[in-house]
């Protein structure tokens, strides 16, 4: 991210504070149809055209450090395995033996020089998935090994994360993330280590879960502390919409938190005293200062939210299990300032605080799904501050293809004029 952009974000927040209505000419949204959360047909379209065509985070490069190291992955429906090849490149294959379908690897994590199915020992090359050994091959009539390679899934890495895409002809990850890369590019994400991970299963549609993290004006209502104030002031929020359904949101601190942080004012962005925490390496001090003195989050379409921080950050992943069930996972990454398995006190405190916020967010989700199923609810009215939610839905429709969607479930395409310029 260019230094001027950080300055521009600050100016945008000043503008947001000053306005008394949405910007001149901002469109009126229709309600988001509730069928988008409860229609099986629409859910199936999302699975077929959104999740089977999107780049999603499936792991960390650290998980597969050496050639032959692998992890398994099942969150996109079919079983898969991710393995580092002899050439050092990380690849993803379907974990389905092409003989009779036994899993090629059974462990969640391991290392192997060859991918040998346990059932009858068909073996595959770790680098290209080629079928390299078939016991009793003479008893197969005309077995063509080249037709029985392990099928591959598109796989690339960015910022130390392993992204996969079920579409073998997926556009390159770099292009798909586009300008939204600028939110991780200034940080040395590759060197970050996992601090801890958590997950919960929530009985609601995956979008109900994701949408809780795409606006901030609920913050003071459900995330205030015991003294009755919240760390963020939602009037100080600048949002940015990127092409491809990605977006970002930078929110200034509340006056109470400004005071507690020894800042002069909400826009006094400078390095704060973070005690025992180690700061993430970056070549852009202005960007780091922004992370220190605001809440800054980036969302990567369709199912990733990253609330960034100067001393590390969690990534939140939303996985649809079925139309009414979502697996919400979060993994916290930071520069390593601990040894062994026992986390130091400052991380124990931080993880407890963050998990508490996640619990507060979770609290609404199952009841909201029940309401979406209720005839008492006609649709979801969305305001200017909730436009990242609209942006998510617009992209879903673009990926599915508007003509495939029942007319009453479609979204108007309105946000194009409000996208960030792509001149990174
Ligand atoms: S099922 Fe894998 S070798 Fe037979
Ligand atoms: Fe929240």
Where in the chain are the domains? 3-53+179-418, 56-165
Is the shortest distance between the CB of 140 and ligand 1 below 6 Å? no
Terminal CA-CA length for the chain? 7
Contacts within 8 Å (CB) and 24+ apart, 167-170: 167/52, 167/53, 170/53, 170/55
CA–centroid distance, 150 to ligand 1, in Å, is 12
Cα–Cα dist 269/251, whole Å:
12
Q: Report the separation in Å between the CA atom of 296 and the middle of ligand 2, taken as the mean of its atom positions.
A: 13
The C-alpha atoms of residue 34 and residue 32 are separated, in whole angstroms, by 6
3-53+179-418 maps to CATH 3.40.50.720: no
**Cβ–ligand 1 contact at 104 (below 6 Å):** no
Q: 55: buried, middle or exposed (CB in 10 Å: 19+, 13-18, 0-12)?
A: buried
DSSP-based three-state secondary structure for 123: strand
The pLDDT averaged over each successive group of 10 residues in the chain (424 residues) is 88 97 97 98 98 98 98 97 98 98 97 96 98 98 98 98 97 97 97 97 98 95 92 97 98 97 97 95 96 98 98 98 98 92 93 96 96 96 97 98 98 96 56
Radius of gyration of the chain (CA): 23
User: For ligand 2, a single-atom ion, which residues have Cβ within 5 Å?
Assistant: 361
Ligand 1 pocket, 117 CB below 6 A? yes
- 56-165 shares the fold of 3-53+179-418: no
4 burial (CB, 10 Å; 0-12 / 13-18 / 19+) is exposed
Distance 154 CA to ligand 2 centre (A): 33
Q: How far apart are CA 175 and CA 92, in angstroms?
A: 20
Ligand 1 atom closest to the Cα of residue 117 is 2
Instruction: Please tell me the pTM assigned to this model.
Output: 0.96
- Output the pLDDT for position 1: 79
pLDDT at 149: 98
**Which ligand has an atom closest to residue 214 CA?**
2
Residues 6+ apart with CB under 8 A from 180: 242, 244, 246, 247, 248, 298, 300
Supply the DSSP string of 28-65, one letter for each residue. Answer: PPPPEETHHHH-HHHHHHIIIIIITTS-EEEEEGGGG-
Residue-wise burial string across 80-106, b where 16 or more C-beta atoms lie within 10 A, e elsewhere: bbbbbbeeeebbbbbbbbbbeeebbbe
pLDDT at 281: 97
Span from the CA of 360 to the centroid of ligand 2 (angstroms): 7
At 292, give phi and psi (nearest 5°).
-65, -35
Does 134 contact ligand 1 (Cβ within 6 A)? no
pLDDT of residue 286: 97
HEC per residue, 140-152? CCCCCHHHHCCCE
- Which ligand is nearest to the Cα of residue 215, counting in written order? 2
C-alpha 294/C-alpha 296 separation (Å) is 6
Which residue's CA lies nearest to atom 3 of ligand 1? 120
- Give the closest ligand to the alpha carbon of residue 115: 1
Q: Would you state the torsion angle of the CA atoms of residues 243, 247, 250, 251, taken in this order, to the nearest 10 degrees? A: 130
- Minimum-distance ligand 1 atom for the alpha carbon of 122: 3
Give the model's pLDDT for residue 424. Answer: 41
Which ligand sits closest to the CA of 122?
Answer: 1
Backbone dihedral region for residue 262 (phi beyond 0: left; psi -120 to 50: alpha; all else: beta) = left
Per-residue pLDDT at 421: 76
**CATH architecture group of domain 56-165:** 3-layer Sandwich (2.102)
């Amino acid at each position: 991210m260019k230094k001027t952009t950080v300055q521009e974000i600050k100016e945008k927040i000043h503008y947001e504070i000053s306005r008394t209505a949405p910007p001149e000419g901002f469109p009126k949204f229709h309600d988001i149809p509730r069928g988008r959360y409860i229609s099986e047909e629409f859910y199936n379209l999302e699975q077929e055209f959104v999740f089977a065509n999107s780049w999603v985070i499936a792991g960390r490069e650290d998980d597969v450090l050496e050639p032959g190291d692998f992890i398994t992955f099942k969150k996109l429906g079919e079983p898969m395995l991710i393995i580092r090849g002899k050439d050092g490149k990380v690849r993803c294959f379907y974990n389905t033996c092409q003989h009779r379908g036994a899993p090629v690897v059974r462990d969640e994590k391991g290392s192997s020089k060859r991918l040998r199915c346990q059932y009858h020992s068909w073996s595959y090359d770790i680098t290209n998935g080629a079928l390299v050994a078939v016991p009793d091959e003479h008893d197969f009539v005309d077995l063509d090994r080249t037709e029985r390679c392990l099928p591959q899934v598109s796989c690339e890495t960015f910022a130390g994360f392993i992204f996969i895409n079920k579409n073998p002809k997926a556009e390159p990850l770099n292009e798909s993330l586009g300008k939204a890369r600028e939110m991780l590019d200034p940080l040395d994400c590759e060197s970050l280590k996992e601090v801890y991970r958590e997950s919960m299963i929530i009985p609601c549609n995956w979008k109900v879960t994701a949408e809780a993290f795409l606006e901030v004006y609920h913050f003071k209502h459900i995330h205030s502390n015991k003294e009755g104030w919240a760390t963020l002031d939602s009037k100080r929020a600048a949002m940015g919409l990127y092409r491809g359904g990605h977006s970002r949101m930078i929110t200034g601190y509340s006056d109470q938190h400004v005071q507690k942080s020894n800042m002069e004012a909400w826009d006094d962005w400078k390095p704060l005293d973070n005690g025992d925490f180690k700061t993430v390496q970056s070549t852009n001090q202005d960007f780091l200062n922004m992370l220190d003195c605001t809440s800054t989050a980036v969302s990567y379409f369709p199912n990733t939210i990253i609330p960034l921080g100067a001393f590390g950050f969690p990534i939140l992943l939303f996985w649809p299990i079925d139309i009414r069930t979502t697996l919400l996972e979060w993994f916290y990454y930071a520069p390593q300032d601990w040894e062994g398995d026992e986390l130091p006190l400052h991380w124990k405190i931080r993880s407890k605080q963050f998990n508490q916020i996640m619990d507060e967010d979770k609290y609404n989700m199952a009841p909201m799904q029940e309401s979406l199923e209720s005839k008492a609810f006609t649709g979801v009215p969305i305001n200017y501050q909730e436009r990242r939610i609209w942006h998510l839905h617009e992209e879903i429709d673009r990926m599915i293809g508007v003509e495939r969607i029942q007319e009453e479930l479609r979204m108007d395409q309105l946000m194009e004029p409000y996208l960030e310029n792509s001149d990174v």
